[in-house]
A and B are shown apart, each in its own frame.
Chain A
Amino acid sequence: MASLTIDQLTKSFGAVEVLKGIDLDIEDGGFLVLVGPSGCGKSTLLNCIAGLEKTTSGEIRIGDRNVEGLHPSKRDIAMVFQSYALYPNMTVRGNISFGMEIRGVDKAEQEKAIQEVADILQIGNLLDRKPSQLSGGQRQRVAMGRALVRHPQVFLFDEPLSNLDAKLRVDMRTEIKRLHRRMGTTIVYVTHDQIEALTLATKIAVLEAGYLQQAGSPDEIYNDPSNMFVADFMGSPSMNLIDGLLLERDGGLEIEIEGYGDTKISLPAPDTAEMRGFVGKPIVFGIRPEAMTDPDGADRTSPQIETRDCFIEVSQPAGSDTFALTPLGGKECIARLRADARIELGAFAPISFNMTKAVFFDPSTTNRIR
């Protein structure tokens, strides 16, 4: 087991710069999730850690060892691929033991290791089958078995669950989390699914266009996003980013937002030095759907609940909740109401804003204003 440190890493394919100076680290035994939209460089970053791609500049350290120039097999890592990459001509047993065979581990020890892994993953009855005879979930397990058997310093997962159906994905997610708790090995995990990121990680790194947008605990990423990209990307439905105008009124700060038609609503904004710099300027007000509720559903522990009348255009019952769409700042915003909240479409209804959860962004730089 070891920590992983990435220092000023860049990677170019010809003239195209894919990673533009990544600084990131994860402590020993941590679970780092790299998340971002397609093409953000997250898989490239993982391949760089694995040694499957050469880095252009910068440093990667596993433990206190610089792995620059080391062959993938010498880095003491194991990788689970998106397509599982099981050797089609070998049985499950052969797949798991292939690495040991190459390293010249003796037969008895190989067999012991295979049994141990098979017990952990409950694939003992599949050992003599070929990958083509396995279901998706079973292949996934075998792929993890092949990684586990190495007892590596770091596990690398490249979107391992994206080929599974929704139900199985949730099951395997739980299993990976359980496995991590049991083994305590450092894991780096790539996904584009932000739910997976939030549920699994001890640390999330959000990447976009080759830049690290934010790295932090799931709670930090979710509640304290450092820019509009992170705020919008994490969470489902995503955060409402509402255009408004910051005004000074009666010595305090207020954000004025256009509502339905000519109506306007004002909400109090935190009075900080940085916020004061934006008085009279447009500002983006970010609030998660669950912080916009019907008054009865509002978080009673919150010290600052503001209730305003908003025009409800559409409602989307989703079983456990009802989502209501209301125009604010020229956009459709989503409020998350209780399932049995009574709302009338095409009319104004009181919506409670939990202002302790509100965040503000500078629309010109998209950065957070604190």
Chain B
Amino acid sequence: MSIPSQDNAINAGSLTRILIYTLLIFFVIYYLLPLWVMVSNSLKTLDEIRGGDMLAPPKDITFEPWRQAWSQTQIGVEATGLKPYFFNSIIMVVPAVFLSTFLGALNGYVMTKWEFPGVNLIFGLMLLACFIPFQIVLIPMARILGMLGLAGTLGGLIMVHTVYGLGFTTLFFRNYYAAFPTELVRAAQIDGASFFQVFWRILIPSSGPIIVVTIIWQFTNVWNDFLFGASFSSYDSTPITVALNNLVNSSTGVKEYNVHFAGAILTALPTLIVYIVSGRYFVRGLMAGAVKG
């Protein structure tokens, strides 16, 4: 169902209309300007950038800065480009996202369909995890990682992000499953389904929208994280966000702005792709259950 056309509901003069469009176009330009600066400058030579206008389009397009950023530029001690760090991030993000999503779904299932005394207290405590500033957990987390022998490894980062993501994923799934009819679970129990059979066969197949929401949310957060990456990684487990920082903030040599721009875009690209591909599910998922469909 769509809302009836507003064409003849409000009799706005063409002047108002022009005003509205002017304002909208202004804001579109305003918001797209940073992207334009990044893309255009990443395609210029360093001389051209030094020579002048940041907003001007590149005179002769070169992809050299991109190649540099990806595989050749000096980051830390080695001239490897962002490539190994990009794969570090992938190796960290994928398991962290799936583990936290899976555990969040399981938590949501237990908290809504297998209620036990004190369930609301535990849920409240888990919610707290959403609001605790990252910095507070740094020292205890470092200690635990050390005790587990995971300090400075990708495994350790995966664990940190899984644990930290649990608060949000549990919140998402609990609220989604709270609206899921309990009678379905009961019917499955009468049919003889076990705890996990109910979970896999009944709940998970009906959780499409919330799974997408959780994956997008977790992917973005874990990929974009800088603090945990900077605190808990060593030179062979550094995620791309930290590597980008090392690239841009290096205090030796010439500042290669074009390479920095290309590197920043490369770093942001996966989250952008995730949003573009599944953004519509995100909105749909956030609204799921709001209206009886």
The interface of chain A, by Cβ under 8 A from chain B, is 50, 52, 71-73, 77-79, 81-83, 85, 87-89, 98-99, 102-103, 146
Give the residue name and chain of the B residue nearest to A149 (CB): B191
Q: Which of B202-230 contact A (CB under 8 A)?
A: 202, 205-206
- Tell me the bound Cα distance from A71 to B197 in angstroms: 15
Query: What's the tally of chain B residues with a CB closer than 8 Å to chain A?
Result: 16
Give the residue name and chain of the B residue nearest to A14 (CB): B117
| Contact of B187 (CB < 8 Å), options: A71, A81, A103 | A81
The interface of chain B, by Cβ under 8 A from chain A, is 181, 183-184, 186-193, 197, 201-202, 205-206
**Chain B residues within an 8 Å CB radius of A103:** 192
- Tell me the bound Cα distance from A88 to B181 in angstroms: 11
**Chain B residues within an 8 Å CB radius of A52:** 186, 189-190
| Interchain Cβ contacts within 8 Å, total number | 54
Give the residue name and chain of the B residue nearest to A100 (CB): B191
Give the residue name and chain of the B residue nearest to A71 (CB): B189
Question: Is A102 a contact of B190 with CB atoms below 8 Å?
Answer: no
| Contact of A102 (CB < 8 Å), options: B184, B197, B205, B206 | B197
Give the residue name and chain of the A residue nearest to B182 (CB): A85
- Name the prevailing secondary structure of the A interface residues: mixed
Question: Is A73 a contact of B190 with CB atoms below 8 Å?
Answer: yes
| Contact of B190 (CB < 8 Å), options: A79, A82, A87, A88 | A79
- Tell me the bound Cα distance from A85 to B182 in angstroms: 9
**Chain B residues within an 8 Å CB radius of A71:** 189
- Tell me the bound Cα distance from A102 to B191 in angstroms: 7
**Chain A residues within an 8 Å CB radius of B187:** 79, 81, 85, 87, 146
Question: Is A83 a contact of B183 with CB atoms below 8 Å?
Answer: yes
Question: Is A72 a contact of B183 with CB atoms below 8 Å?
Answer: no
Sample of 5 A–B contacts (CB below 8 Å): A50-B186, A52-B186, A73-B190, A83-B183, A87-B187
- Tell me the bound Cα distance from A88 to B205 in angstroms: 9
- Tell me the bound Cα distance from A344 to B201 in angstroms: 67
**Apart from the given pairs A73-B192, A87-B201, A87-B202, 15 other A-B contacts in the complex at a CB distance below 8 Å:** A72-B186, A73-B189, A77-B190, A79-B187, A81-B186, A82-B183, A83-B181, A85-B181, A85-B187, A88-B206, A99-B190, A102-B191, A102-B197, A103-B192, A146-B191
- Tell me the bound Cα distance from A72 to B187 in angstroms: 9
Give the residue name and chain of the B residue nearest to A94 (CB): B201
Most chain A CB atoms below 10 A, which of B187, B193, B202 = B187
**Chain B residues within an 8 Å CB radius of A50:** 186, 190
**Chain B residues within an 8 Å CB radius of A99:** 190-192
Question: Is B191 a contact of A73 with CB atoms below 8 Å?
Answer: yes
Question: Is A98 a contact of B188 with CB atoms below 8 Å?
Answer: yes
CB contact under 8 A between A72 and B190, given known A85-B181, A85-B183: yes
CB distance from A285 to the nearest CB of B (A): 44
**Chain B residues within an 8 Å CB radius of A88:** 184, 206
The 6 closest A-B pairs by CB, nearest first: A73-B192, A99-B191, A89-B205, A85-B183, A85-B187, A102-B192
**Chain B residues within an 8 Å CB radius of A73:** 189-193
Question: Is B188 a contact of A87 with CB atoms below 8 Å?
Answer: yes
- Tell me the bound Cα distance from A128 to B64 in angstroms: 57
CB distance from B82 to the nearest CB of A (A): 42
- Tell me the bound Cα distance from A79 to B187 in angstroms: 7
**Chain B residues within an 8 Å CB radius of A89:** 202, 205-206
Give the residue name and chain of the B residue nearest to A82 (CB): B183
- Tell me the bound Cα distance from A99 to B181 in angstroms: 19
CB distance from B205 to the nearest CB of A (A): 4
**Chain B residues within an 8 Å CB radius of A77:** 190
